[in-house]
């Protein structure tokens, strides 16, 4: 393998992040972690606590030096991370996601003071495409990587694969299959003893498998001990310095395994057979984790109790934390950093005088065996074990030292899945809410927790707060719940207001929004009702309600007017009437216009200081509408790689806006013109992004996704987008990249030929007058020209196109202008309907006969004249005769031969019908 050299730019600061220069958004911080993934303690001293955690598809390298916490997030996985491990020294960390890849990280790649983790080895799809990765582990010396999982088809059961990852082989050195009856793989653990580094144990749902790697024969061998009726295994560990192993189960059992007296025949690398030794019923609660360290066996269970046993499983010591929460992780420091016996130095008068002069007094050294807790044996021996970290089910991390009786909580809490969040408009504050009703405010300048509030919600799915909103002035904070409660919080003091909670409906509140002047509050309910609340001193009172469409998004136009878009493809404007003297409803609908024909709007953005409203739809288009008339102004092509745009957010003071799709976060430059080089994206979530906000004070974007326990903070950088535009070209150059073959391809030459052919067509000729070709087309010919080059628009789409062309202020458009209109208006896929689409449409409108195998052309003509955008029957019949002459000829022949038979229909097979139209 080649040597890894850190890149330091000339003239740049060593701590500057190089990756931020290439990405429009760079992940700088997360508010929490995923407690379902066991964390890793890689600390080498008590003065510096170092952890590795996971949050979604991000690895968090955490460091705490006693004064401040520092988190370095690294994105290196496509899917959700499910397992983390390391070798004996802690320098190399391995991580795996659900199915895509396994990464090996070098934590100390930058040297002392500049530690930037770098992925030095990646194994893609180790269990083929869509295969499941169950667990990974590095052996103690770090030479071998072992992964367990199953292929996508699931027919071959679980497999174990081993790589000598330092060599760089893409294929595993050996693969072995495990019995299917053992169930899913949970954990993999290597033996820490030096003479047994090649041995490992795999914990599965219904059994335990012991194995070894023979480096001479390059072969894996496994052995399944005889079953004894135990189920629901959680973890297994080798007992240091012995030939035993201990497994723990969900029923509170500890199962001990020991080497058989008769060793198996084989080479030196084969494993001694492990046999069942005994079992102990330790708890009536599930034991989730077991570790072996400093000649002690340590367990953590669902009762929140941590127990210490000796190597013979005799109880020594136990303790519980104040808040009894299930223990999910126990991770010890890598090395023992303190001496067991510290001699007490006799006082020296010279040293004392020197210390007094310096104003410092050196604390006396003590014997830790005297201060350590005593075990429960008759001898009352001291319980001395290195420091460790425990993580609970609710996402709390504790640094524990039982010798000095110290327990310190670390990192940011991640108690439950995030349900809503918002960013303060004037201060560097982030507010989040989880499924347990805990509202937390973070200081974005220091990346620390500032205040928190536990809202007394119902601990059920119906009581969760699902939407949060700061007022523009930053004085108020509102949260809507699934049971119809509206919680009002004073964010400065983090206390509930006197009137909270308000309940004016039993329906779920889907969205809350403050007016521009913070005097009104809108609440959108699940049953499509909008409630307006008005602020009266420090209280909020409901002043009016109005039923509306299935609302998707809404935004304020001014202090009293707001607009919404819905699934009914309409845009609706409302006004709030605050004058009590006027006998008018408090909330009235002023205007209602249809803005789409077949697409569904997905997001709305009002541009301040202009008369434009930007709307995104699910057909991957951006549309600009006039904010007063709701007339369409322009249609532009939106990013078409990852679903429709959602959550449009303007970057204040700059010509950029942000939005999210299913998995990506986009930065787009204004004004929009359909140029594909005007936007860049980064992958923001492995599953689905659910929310986006922009922090004005820190110039960052904030997102969270499905199943997240944390909110991600992304630093915005517009330089890569500007560099991208420099190399995009001018005129039609960037737009032609959307066409097959590019600017010099045959497709562009063909549409250019048709552009000029339109000028010499018979309808444009004037007798014997001389024809003059020019680079301009009459706007009246543009719709038919677009149909001829592949965009089969409807009458509604043609009207919108003509309205947009009227805004050009000319009757003739150049080839460049027409091509841009074509690329922005055509379907995102860029091609005509497929045969399957045509067959589905003919069946849907009822034009098919004989169990859907034929199309009745006469019935089709009738349907096209009555449904949707009606066509003239004579025109429709003319087109059908031109396209399908054989069907009408057969009809005429049958009518002439049998004049007394009722008139027959012109039928054609549905396959031929679709093929002719394609």
Mean pLDDT for 524-536 is 91
Could you tell me which of 801, 788, 778 has the C-alpha nearest to residue 750?
788
- Is pLDDT of 347 > 80? no
**pLDDT one-digit tens code per residue, 859-892:** 888 888 887 778 888 888 888 888 888 777 766 6
**φ and ψ of 724, to 5 deg:** -65, -40
Q: So what's the pLDDT on residue 290?
A: 96
User: In the Cβ-directed half-sphere of 887, how many Cα atoms lie within 13 Å?
Assistant: 21
**pLDDT one-digit tens code per residue, 557-602:** 999 999 999 999 999 999 998 766 555 688 899 999 999 998 999 9
Q: So what's the pLDDT on residue 759?
A: 73
Give the confidence band of 767 by pLDDT, cuts at 50, 70, 90: low
**pLDDT one-digit tens code per residue, 359-407:** 455 555 667 788 888 888 888 888 889 989 999 988 889 999 898 888 8
Say how far apart CA 123 and CA 577 lie, in whole Å: 63
Cis peptide before 671 (omega within 30 of 0): yes
Q: So what's the pLDDT on residue 775?
A: 79
Q: So what's the pLDDT on residue 487?
A: 92
**pLDDT one-digit tens code per residue, 816-852:** 999 999 999 998 866 667 777 777 777 777 776 555 5
3-state secondary structure (DSSP) of residue 352 = helix
Overall residue count recorded for the chain in this entry: 918
> 555: which residues sit within 8 A by CB, 6+ positions away?
513, 562, 563, 564, 604, 605, 606
- Average per-residue pLDDT in the chain? 85
- Is pLDDT of 480 > 50? yes
Q: Which of 33-47, 547-561, 702-716, 763-777 has the lowest mean pLDDT?
A: 763-777
DSSP structural state of residue 427: S
Higher pLDDT, 769 or 379: 379
Give the confidence band of 12 by pLDDT, cuts at 50, 70, 90: very low
Could you tell me which of 3, 17, 10 has the C-alpha nearest to residue 116?
17
User: In the Cβ-directed half-sphere of 2, how many Cα atoms lie within 13 Å?
Assistant: 3
Q: The tokens of 174 are what? A: 């050996």
> Do 682 and 691 meet the contact criterion of CB atoms below 8 Å apart?
no
Mean pLDDT for 40-48 is 87
Give the confidence band of 2 by pLDDT, cuts at 50, 70, 90: very low
Say how far apart CA 895 and CA 902 lie, in whole Å: 8
Q: Identify the sign of the CA torsion 330, 331, 336, 338.
A: negative
Report angle CA 781, 785, 789 to the nearest 5 degrees: 175
Q: Which residues, in sequence order, are bridge partners of residue 637?
A: 621
* Owner of token pair 């509102």: 478
Say how far apart CA 530 and CA 546 lie, in whole Å: 5
Provide the pairing of β-strand 406-410 with 397-401: antiparallel
Number of other residues whose CB lies within 10 A of the CB of residue 484: 20
Say how far apart CA 410 and CA 406 lie, in whole Å: 13
Can you count the helices (H) and strands (E) in the chain? 13, 62
Q: So what's the pLDDT on residue 535?
A: 87
Q: Identify the sign of the CA torsion 25, 31, 35, 39.
A: positive
Say how far apart CA 81 and CA 58 lie, in whole Å: 7
User: In the Cβ-directed half-sphere of 756, how many Cα atoms lie within 13 Å?
Assistant: 10
Higher pLDDT, 499 or 816: 816
- The Cα-based distances of 756 to 194, 752, 825 in angstroms read 81, 7, 21
Q: So what's the pLDDT on residue 769?
A: 55
Number of other residues whose CB lies within 10 A of the CB of residue 267: 12
Report angle CA 728, 733, 737 to the nearest 5 degrees: 85
Give the confidence band of 901 by pLDDT, cuts at 50, 70, 90: very low
Global pTM reads 0.87
Give the confidence band of 267 by pLDDT, cuts at 50, 70, 90: very low
**pLDDT one-digit tens code per residue, 427-448:** 999 999 998 889 999 999 988 8
In percent, how much of the chain has pLDDT > 90? 48
> 394: which residues sit within 8 A by CB, 6+ positions away?
35, 325, 413, 415, 416
DSSP structural state of residue 382: B
Mean pLDDT for 461-482 is 89
Ramachandran area for residue 630 (φ above 0: left; ψ -120 to 50: alpha; else beta): left
Mean pLDDT for 471-491 is 91
In percent, how much of the chain has pLDDT > 70? 87
Q: The tokens of 231 are what? A: 């189920």
**φ and ψ of 339, to 5 deg:** -85, 145
Q: So what's the pLDDT on residue 871?
A: 80
Q: So what's the pLDDT on residue 373?
A: 86
Mean pLDDT for 415-435 is 91
Give the confidence band of 174 by pLDDT, cuts at 50, 70, 90: very high
- Is pLDDT of 268 > 60? no
Q: So what's the pLDDT on residue 170?
A: 80
- Is pLDDT of 266 > 50? no
**φ and ψ of 431, to 5 deg:** -120, 130
Q: Which residues, in sequence order, are bridge partners of residue 217?
A: none
Mean pLDDT for 595-618 is 94
**Chain center to CA of 816:** 39
Say how far apart CA 697 and CA 653 lie, in whole Å: 12
DSSP structural state of residue 824: H
Say how far apart CA 211 and CA 219 lie, in whole Å: 11
**pLDDT one-digit tens code per residue, 197-237:** 899 999 999 999 999 999 888 999 999 998 777 889 999 99
Q: So what's the pLDDT on residue 768?
A: 55
Q: So what's the pLDDT on residue 4?
A: 37
Number of other residues whose CB lies within 10 A of the CB of residue 699: 15
Say how far apart CA 432 and CA 429 lie, in whole Å: 10
Cis peptide before 790 (omega within 30 of 0): no
**pLDDT one-digit tens code per residue, 774-813:** 778 889 989 989 988 888 888 899 999 999 999 998 999 9
Q: The tokens of 102 are what? A: 């396994």
> Do 254 and 300 meet the contact criterion of CB atoms below 8 Å apart?
no
Q: The tokens of 228 are what? A: 């004894």
Q: Report the C-alpha dihedral over residues 911, 913, 917, 918, rounded to 10 degrees.
A: 0
Give the confidence band of 152 by pLDDT, cuts at 50, 70, 90: confident
Say how far apart CA 206 and CA 214 lie, in whole Å: 26
Provide the pairing of β-strand 397-401 with 388-392: antiparallel
Q: So what's the pLDDT on residue 761?
A: 66
């Amino acid at each position: 393998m080649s040597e890894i050299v850190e890149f330091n730019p000339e003239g740049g600061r060593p701590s500057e992040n190089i990756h931020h220069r290439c990405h429009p958004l760079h992940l700088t911080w997360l508010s929490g972690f995923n407690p379902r993934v066991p964390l890793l303690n890689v600390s080498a001293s008590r003065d510096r606590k170092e952890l590795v955690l996971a949050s979604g598809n991000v690895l968090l390298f955490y460091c705490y030096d006693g004064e401040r916490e520092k988190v370095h997030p690294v994105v290196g996985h496509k899917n959700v991370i499910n397992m983390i491990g390391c070798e004996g020294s802690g320098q190399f960390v391995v991580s795996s996601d659900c199915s895509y890849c396994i990464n090996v990280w070098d934590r100390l790649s930058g040297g002392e003071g500049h530690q930037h983790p770098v992925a030095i080895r990646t194994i893609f799809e180790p269990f083929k495409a869509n295969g499941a990765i169950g667990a990974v582990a590095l052996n103690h010396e770090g030479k071998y990587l072992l992964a367990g999982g199953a292929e996508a088809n699931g027919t071959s059961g679980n497999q174990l694969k081993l790589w000598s990852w330092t060599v760089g082989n893409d294929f595993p050195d050996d693969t072995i299959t495990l019995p299917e009856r053992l169930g899913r793989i949970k954990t993999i653990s290597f033996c820490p003893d030096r003479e047994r580094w090649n041995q490992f144990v795999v914990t599965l749902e219904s059994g335990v498998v012991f194995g070894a790697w023979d480096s001479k024969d390059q072969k894996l061998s496994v052995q399944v001990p005889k079953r004894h009726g135990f189920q629901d295994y959680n973890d297994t560990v080798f007992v240091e310095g012995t030939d035993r192993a201990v497994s723990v189960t969900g029923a509170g059992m500890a199962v001990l395994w020991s080497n058989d007296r008769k060793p198996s025949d084989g080479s030196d690398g084969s494993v001694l057979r492990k046999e069942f030794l005994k079992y102990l019923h330790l708890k009536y609660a599930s034991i989730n984790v077991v570790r072996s360290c400093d000649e002690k066996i340590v367990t953590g269970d669902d009762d929140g109790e941590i127990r210490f046993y000796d190597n013979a499983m005799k109880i020594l010591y136990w303790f519980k934390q104040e808040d009894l929460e299930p223990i999910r992780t126990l991770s010890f420091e890598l090395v023992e950093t303190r001496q067991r016996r510290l001699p007490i130095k006799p006082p020296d008068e010279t040293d004392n005088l020197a210390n007094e002069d310096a104003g410092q007094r050196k604390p006396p050294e003590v014997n830790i065996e005297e201060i350590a807790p005593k075990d429960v044996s008759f001898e009352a021996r001291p319980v001395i074990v290195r420091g460790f970290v425990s993580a609970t089910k609710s996402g709390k991390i504790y640094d524990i030292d039982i010798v000095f009786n110290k327990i310190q909580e670390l990192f940011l809490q991640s108690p439950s899945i995030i349900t809503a969040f918002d960013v303060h408009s004037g201060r560097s504050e982030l507010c989040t809410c989880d499924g347990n009703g805990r509202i937390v405010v973070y200081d974005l300048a220091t990346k620390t927790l500032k205040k928190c509030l536990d809202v007394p919600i119902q601990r059920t799915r119906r009581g969760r707060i699902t939407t949060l909103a700061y007022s523009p002035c930053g004085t108020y904070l509102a949260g809507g719940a699934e049971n119809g409660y509206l919680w009002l919080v004073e964010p400065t003091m983090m206390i509930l207001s006197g009137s909270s909670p308000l309940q004016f409906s039993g329906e779920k509140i889907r969205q809350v929004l403050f007016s521009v002047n913070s005097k009104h509050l809108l609440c959108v309910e699940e049953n499509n009702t909008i409630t307006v609340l008005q602020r009266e001193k420090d209280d909020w009172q409901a002043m009016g309600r109005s039923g509306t469409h299935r609302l998707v998004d809404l935004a304020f136009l001014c202090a009293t007017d707001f607009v919404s878009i819905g699934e009914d493809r309409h845009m609706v404007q409302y006004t709030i009437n605050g004058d009590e003297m006027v006998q008018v409803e408090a909330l009235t609908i002023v205007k209602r216009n249809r803005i789409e024909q077949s697409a569904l709007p997905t997001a709305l953005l009002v541009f301040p200081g202009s008369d434009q409203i930007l709307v995104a739809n699910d057909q991957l288009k951006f549309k600009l509408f006039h904010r007063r008339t709701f007339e369409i102004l322009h249609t532009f092509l939106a990013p078409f790689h990852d679903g429709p745009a959602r959550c449009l957010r303007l970057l204040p003071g700059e010509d950029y806006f942000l939005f999210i799709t299913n998995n990506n976060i986009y930065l787009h430059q204004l004004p929009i013109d359909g140029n594909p080089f005007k936007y860049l994206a980064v992958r923001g979530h492995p599953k689905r992004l659910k929310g986006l906000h922009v922090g004005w004070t820190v110039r960052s974007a904030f997102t969270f996704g499905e199943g997240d326990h944390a909110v991600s903070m992304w630093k915005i950088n517009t330089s890569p987008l500007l560099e991208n535009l420099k190399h995009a070209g001018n005129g039609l150059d960037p737009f032609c990249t959307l066409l097959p073959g590019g600017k010099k391809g045959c497709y562009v030459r063909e549409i250019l030929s048709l552009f000029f052919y339109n000028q010499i067509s018979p309808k444009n000729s004037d007798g014997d007058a001389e024809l003059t070709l020019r680079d301009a087309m009459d706007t009246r010919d543009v719709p038919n020209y677009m149909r001829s080059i592949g965009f089969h628009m409807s009458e509604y789409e043609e009207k919108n196109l003509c309205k947009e062309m009227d805004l050009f202020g000319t009757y003739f458009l150049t080839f460049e202008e027409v091509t841009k209109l074509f690329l922005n208006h055509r379907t995102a896929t860029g091609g005509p309907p497929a045969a399957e689409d045509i067959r589905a449409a003919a069946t849907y409108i009822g034009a098919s006969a004989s169990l859907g195998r034929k199309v009745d052309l006469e019935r089709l003509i009738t349907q096209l004249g009555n449904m949707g955008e009606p066509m003239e029957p004579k025109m429709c019949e003319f087109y059908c005769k031109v396209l399908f002459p054989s069907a009408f000829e057969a009809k005429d022949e049958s009518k002439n031969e049998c004049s007394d038979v009722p008139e027959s229909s012109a039928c054609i097979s549905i396959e031929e019908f679709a093929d002719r139209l394609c």
